[in-house]
Structure 1
Amino acid sequence: MNARVESHVYGGPGTAIHADLDQFGTVATLLNDAADHVARTGANWKTANLELGIIRAKAPLCPKLLGKIATASMGMAHTDGTGDAEADTAVHMSLNYQLVLRHADERAEEAEMLMRKAQTMADQLTDAYSLYSEADETARGLFGELLQLGTTVAPKFGFLGLLGAAAGSVIIGSIKEQSFNPVYAVTGTSSLHEGMLSALGSAIVNGANPITRLWRAGTGLVESDEVNQAAGMIAHVSTLTRNILVGNKVTVAQIHPKKGIGETTSIEDTLNNVHDMRLNGVDYGSIAIQKYRREDGTTAWMVTIPGTDGNFDSPFSWFTNVELMSADERQRKAADSARMVDEAMRQVGIQPGDPVAMVGHSQGGIVAAVMASDFTDKYNIQHIVTAGSPIANHPIKGDITVTSIEVNDELVSALDGAPNPSSPNWLTVRGTSQPMGSGTGTEVEGSGDHKSLSHDMNYMKATYQNAKGNGGTALAGHERHFRQVINGELQETTYWRGRIGRK
C-alpha cells in the first residue's frame, strides 16, 4: 500500500484549496464556467436580434411590414367569374418583428444580469477562501517565529524539546509499522522545522553573546532570513574549501543521452520531466533546455534542472546548496550550479528578450529562484516551477510567476525557515502526508507500505495531482500563464553537462 497526500494551495489569484474546504474551490470554478456559458447565450440573443433586423431590411415592400392589411394571391384567380374567389386567396401572415426583437433584447439583458450574479458569487467565494488561506499561513508563520523566539532565548530547552519530539515520533511510528523506522524523526517533527531552523540560523549569525541573541530574538519576529544570513557565513568557508579541493572552473558541454524527456505543455509535464532526467539516466550535473517556436514567430525556452546529485566534480554538489541559499547576491551568482545554468543558457542562444520558463527539484528549484532573482538583467524569465526547494527568502522579481510544490514533512523545503510569500504571482501547493494506511488523498507512486522521506519527486507529483484534481481558479491561472509563456511548437531539446575542475 502506497503513501498518500492531500494538498492545500496558498497564494495565486486568491483561491486556496484545503481538504475540508475544497468544495468552495469547486463551486467557484463551476460558477465561473456557468457565467461563461450564460455570457455566450446572451451573445447569441444579441446576434439573433441583428440577424432578424437584416431579414426585415430585405423585405421593405412587404404590405404587412408597412402596416397595411392586404391579401396576396396564392394561386390563379378564376377569370370566368365562376368559383369562390376567396378559396383561391389567403391572408398574408408576417412575423411580428417588433415583438420578437424586444423579446431578444430582454433575454440578452437577463443573460448579462445572470452572468454578473454568477461572477459575483464566484468572486465572493474566492475572497472567502483567500481569507482562510491568509489566516492559515499567518498562523503558521507566527508559530514558527514564536518557536524561534523561545529557542533563541532558551536554546537548551528548545533543542531538547526537538530531540524529545523526534524520539517520541520514532517510537510511535515504529510501533504502528511494527518495525524500526528512523524516518519518523524527520516527518514527526514537521511543524517544528521552520522555527527551529530559524533559531539555528540566528545562533550562527549572533553567536553566544546574550545581548545580540536577545536582540535577534526580537527582530526575528519581523524578519525571516536568518537561515540565509547564516548560509552566507558558512559559504565563505565551504566555498574556499571546495575551491582548494576541486577547483573553481566550470566547463559546460552539450551531451546526447540515449533517452531524455518529453514535450512540455503544462506544469504537470515539467514535474514529470525533471523526474525523468533522473529516471532515464541522463548524466549527472546535466540540465535540459527546450526551444519552442511560438505562433507570433518568437522563440520561447523551457529549462529543466534536476536537484543535488552528490558528485564531487558536479556543479550540483552538496556544497553548492549553501551558496545558493546565501542572503548575499554575489555569493548566489557565484554558486557552481547557477554559473553552469547561466553558461548553458548562453551557449544554447537564449536572447535577453526571449520568454523563459524554468523548473527545478530541490537544488534545481533554488537555482531557478536565483536566476529569477539575480539574472533578470540577462534573461526574460517569466515563470518558474520549484519542487521541494527552500526559496521563501529569495528576492524573486515581483512580475515573475512562481509555482512552488512542497510537502509538509519533507524538511528540505523548510530549510529557509519561513513559509513562502503569498501573492497573486506566487502560489504554493503544499501536500500533507497522510498516515500510513489512509485511504484519503492521492496515492504516491512507488512509496511502499513504510513511511519514507517525502522529498522524493513522486511525492511532489502526487501533491500537484491532488491539488489539480480539487480544482480552483488560482491553480488554473498559473497553468494558463505557464502555457502562455511556452505557447508554441517544440523545435529541439538539448542537454548540457557541467563539470568543476581546476582548468
Structure 2
Amino acid sequence: MLIDAAELGVAAQRLRGAGDGLDVADARLRAAAWHAATLATDVPQVRPLADALDALRRAAWGPARLARDVADLATRTRDAAGAYDLAETDAQARWTRVVGGLGLVLGAGPVGAAVLSSAAFGVAVGDLLLDEARQLAVDPWGAMSPAGLPEDLERLAAVPQRVVADGRGALVLQLLAAALGSMTGAFAPELDPVRRFSAHVAGLLPAREVRLVPRADPPDLPAPRGVEGLVDLVARTYDEDTATGEPGTPLATVTVQRLDHADGTRSWVVAVPGTRAAGLTGDVPTDNGTNLALEGGVPDVMSRAVLAAMAEAGIGADEPVALVGHSQGGMVAANVAAAAVGTYAVRLVVTVGSPDVPAAPPPGVATVTLRHREDAVTLLDGKVGERGGQGALSVVRDLAATGGPARPSFSEAHAVAGYVRTGAMVDDALGDLPADDPVRRALTDVLGRTPAGATTTQTTVTAAPLVAPEPGAPVVVRPREVAPSVVPPPVVLPLGARAPWPPEPRVPWAR
C-alpha cells in the first residue's frame, strides 16, 4: 500500500473547509427556524414549517452534527498525515544508512563510482524509462513516431522538478555523494554519504578568520509578532541586491534585535541570511565553503561569527533568544543553538528552506522548520519529509496546492518572500495547537503577549585566509582601519583562537 502524506494533508484541509461550510449552513438554518417560529405566533399555518426546520436542525444527519463529525475527521486525517510523514522520515533515515554502507563497500572497488552513479541516474529517470518501455511494448510505432518527440522532450525537461517534488532527489543526492566519495577517498566512519562527502571536502579547504564590522546606520526594522514576522526579519536582513533586502545592507549581514517589553524584561531575535556567494574560500563567508562545513558537521565561520555578534550585542545569559535563518542561515541558526548551551537562553529556532545539520537542538529549545515541497535546497542534506521530535513544529507546504505558483521554478520555491507567506499561514494555524505547546510557549517567551519596542543592530561578516602565527607567538586580535567615531572597530575571530568574550561553548560538530 502506497500512501501520499501530502495528499492526506490536502484532504484534511478540504474536510475542514467542508466543516466550516456546514457550520454556516447550520447558522442559516437556525435563523430560518427562529423566524418561522416567530411568524407562527401570528400565522398558525406556519407552525408545521417551523417544527420541520427545528427537527432538521436537531437531527443526527443535520448540519450541526455533520459539522462536528467532519471536523473530527479532518483532525484525524491531519494527524494521520503527520504520522505517515514521520514514518517516511524514519524510513528515509534507514535508507540513508543503507546507501552509506553501500558506498563504503563499493567505494573500495574499481567500479564503485560507476555503479553508484548509474543507480542515481536510474532513480532520477527510472519512471520515465519504464513509461517509455511500456508505450513501446503496447504501441511500438506510436512510441517511435516523431510526432511524440516534443512531448517526450517536455517530460524529460520536467525531470528535475519532479524528482524534487516527490522526494527522489534526496536519494539521487545520496547516491551521487557516495559515488563522489568513492572517487575522492571520503571513507570517514559517518554512514550518511552526503555528510561524509561534505566533511571530506570541507576539510580540504583552507581555514579562514572572521572579521565583524558593526553597521553604524542599521535600518529601524519592526519587531516581529509571529512566525511571519521572524521570517520577514530574515528577508530584510539580505543585501540590497535581493528582492526583500533593505537598501544599503551589505552582503553577509547578521541582524540582532533587542525587544524591550512593557514589564521591563527584554528578549532577543537573531536573524541570519542564506548563501550569497558561489565560491568556497572567498571574503564573503555566506558561500558554499560554509555550506559544506555546516552539512559536514565541521567548524564553520558563520556560526562563530553569529556567536561573536551575540556577545557583542550584550545578550544576557537569562534573556530569551530566538534564532531564525533562511537556507544556509537556518543551518547556522541550528548550529548556534547547539553551541550556545550554558551561555545563552535560546528558546526558539526557526529554519526556513534549510537542509539539516548534524548538531541537534538541545533539550528545551523549540524548533519550527518551514519547507516547500518543491524547494530543492531542502533536499541537499539527502533527506526528505518532515523533521519531527519533541518540541518541533515541522511544516511542508505544497506551493501548487496552497495558492503558490502552479509550477514553481527552483528559485520561486526557495525564495524567502514565499516563506514569509508560509509563515503567515503557520501563524493562522497556531491557534489549533494547545496553549502549552512548546512552540507557542517559546514564541510568547521571546515575542511577548503585546507589541514590544525593538532596537536593531547589524553586523557585517567578512572572512580572510587564516595566517598561522610563528611558533610561540601570541594570537593577536587585529582591528581593521576604520574612521574613528563613525564605525566601531571590528572584531577579528581566528578559528581555533580564544575569544575575548565568554568562554567558547562546546559544539557537538559531529555525532
TM-score class normalised by the smaller sequence: 0.5 to 0.7
- CA distance in 2 between counterparts of 1:455 and 1:482 reads 24
Q: Secondary structure at the match of 2:223?
A: coil
2:196 maps to 229
- CA distance in 2 between counterparts of 1:373 and 1:430 reads 24
Q: Secondary structure at the match of 2:413?
A: coil
- Give aligned-pair identity as a percent: 19
1:196 maps to 172
Cα–Cα, structure 1 residues 196 and 181, in superposed 2: closer, same or farther, change >3 Å? Answer: closer
- CA distance in 2 between counterparts of 1:286 and 1:293 reads 23
2:456 maps to 493
Tell me, yes or no, if the aligned pair for 2:215 and 2:459 is still in contact at 8 Å: yes
> Does 2:414 correspond to 1:455?
yes
Tell me, yes or no, if the aligned pair for 2:283 and 2:463 is still in contact at 8 Å: yes
Q: Identify which of 296, 302, 311 aligns with 1:326.
A: 296
- Alignment gaps of 5+ in structure 1: 1-6, 10-15, 31-117, 435-439
> Does 2:86 correspond to 1:137?
yes
Instruction: Give the letter aligned to residue 404 of structure 1.
Output: T
Q: Secondary structure at the match of 1:159?
A: helix
CA RMSD of aligned residues (A): 4.3
- CA distance in 1 between counterparts of 2:194 and 2:230 reads 29
1:150-175 residue CA offsets vs partner (Å, 9 max, x unmatched): 7857524312214536998xx9xx96
- CA distance in 1 between counterparts of 2:455 and 2:431 reads 33
Tell me, yes or no, if the aligned pair for 1:266 and 1:483 is still in contact at 8 Å: no
1:157 maps to 118
> Does 2:293 correspond to 1:346?
no
Instruction: Give the letter aligned to residue 419 of structure 2.
Output: M
TM-score, length-scaled by structure 1: 0.62
- CA distance in 1 between counterparts of 2:444 and 2:18 reads 24
- CA distance in 1 between counterparts of 2:252 and 2:270 reads 14
- CA distance in 1 between counterparts of 2:413 and 2:265 reads 39
- CA distance in 2 between counterparts of 1:227 and 1:449 reads 26
- CA distance in 2 between counterparts of 1:364 and 1:475 reads 29
Deviation at 1:401, TM superposition (A): 0.7
Tell me, yes or no, if the aligned pair for 1:392 and 1:418 is still in contact at 8 Å: no
1:426 maps to 392
Q: Any residues of structure 2 matched to 1:164-203 within 5 Å, and which?
A: 164=125, 184-190=158-164, 191-203=167-179
Deviation at 1:345, TM superposition (A): 0.7
Deviation at 1:207, TM superposition (A): 6.3
Instruction: Give the letter aligned to residue 392 of structure 2.
Output: W
Higher alpha-carbon Rg: 1
Instruction: Give the letter aligned to residue 346 of structure 1.
Output: A
Cα–Cα, structure 1 residues 143 and 254, in superposed 2: closer, same or farther, change >3 Å? Answer: closer
- CA distance in 2 between counterparts of 1:138 and 1:453 reads 29
Tell me, yes or no, if the aligned pair for 2:352 and 2:370 is still in contact at 8 Å: yes
Q: Secondary structure at the match of 2:310?
A: helix
Instruction: Give the letter aligned to residue 192 of structure 1.
Output: R
Tell me, yes or no, if the aligned pair for 1:17 and 1:25 is still in contact at 8 Å: no
1:387-418 residue CA offsets vs partner (Å, 9 max, x unmatched): 11112643211311110111122221112222
Cα–Cα, structure 1 residues 379 and 293, in superposed 2: closer, same or farther, change >3 Å? Answer: same
1:106 maps to none
- Greater alpha carbon shift after TM alignment, 289-298 vs 147-156: 147-156
Q: Any residues of structure 2 matched to 1:6-85 within 5 Å, and which?
A: 18-22=9-13
> Does 2:254 correspond to 1:254?
no
Deviation at 1:273, TM superposition (A): 2.0
| Structure with greater contact order relative to length (CA < 8 Å, sep ≥ 6) | 1
Cα–Cα, structure 1 residues 285 and 251, in superposed 2: closer, same or farther, change >3 Å? Answer: same
Deviation at 1:379, TM superposition (A): 1.3
2:246 maps to 280
Deviation at 1:307, TM superposition (A): 0.7
Tell me, yes or no, if the aligned pair for 1:292 and 1:489 is still in contact at 8 Å: yes
Tell me, yes or no, if the aligned pair for 1:324 and 1:366 is still in contact at 8 Å: yes
Tell me, yes or no, if the aligned pair for 2:272 and 2:326 is still in contact at 8 Å: yes
Q: Identify which of 393, 404, 413 aligns with 1:443.
A: 404
1:319-357 residue CA offsets vs partner (Å, 9 max, x unmatched): 111112223xxx23xx11111111111111012211100
Tell me, yes or no, if the aligned pair for 1:25 and 1:472 is still in contact at 8 Å: no
> Does 2:283 correspond to 1:313?
yes
- Greater alpha carbon shift after TM alignment, 473-482 vs 353-362: 473-482
Cα–Cα, structure 1 residues 274 and 180, in superposed 2: closer, same or farther, change >3 Å? Answer: farther
Tell me, yes or no, if the aligned pair for 2:252 and 2:461 is still in contact at 8 Å: yes
- CA distance in 2 between counterparts of 1:233 and 1:355 reads 36
- CA distance in 2 between counterparts of 1:256 and 1:384 reads 27
Deviation at 1:308, TM superposition (A): 1.1
Q: Secondary structure at the match of 2:234?
A: helix
- CA distance in 1 between counterparts of 2:81 and 2:199 reads 35
Q: Any residues of structure 2 matched to 1:383-394 within 5 Å, and which?
A: 383-391=348-356, 393-394=358-359
Tell me, yes or no, if the aligned pair for 2:170 and 2:383 is still in contact at 8 Å: yes
Instruction: Number of aligned residue pairs: give it.
Output: 370
Deviation at 1:464, TM superposition (A): 3.5
1:302 maps to 269
TM-score, length-scaled by structure 2: 0.61
Deviation at 1:306, TM superposition (A): 0.8
Tell me, yes or no, if the aligned pair for 1:406 and 1:430 is still in contact at 8 Å: yes
Cα–Cα, structure 1 residues 471 and 296, in superposed 2: closer, same or farther, change >3 Å? Answer: closer
- CA distance in 2 between counterparts of 1:26 and 1:180 reads 34
- CA distance in 2 between counterparts of 1:448 and 1:120 reads 35
- Alignment gaps of 5+ in structure 2: 22-66, 107-114, 133-148, 239-244, 466-477, 479-511
1:161-212 residue CA offsets vs partner (Å, 9 max, x unmatched): 14536998xx9xx968x99996x45322112122222334445566699xx9
Q: Secondary structure at the match of 2:322?
A: strand
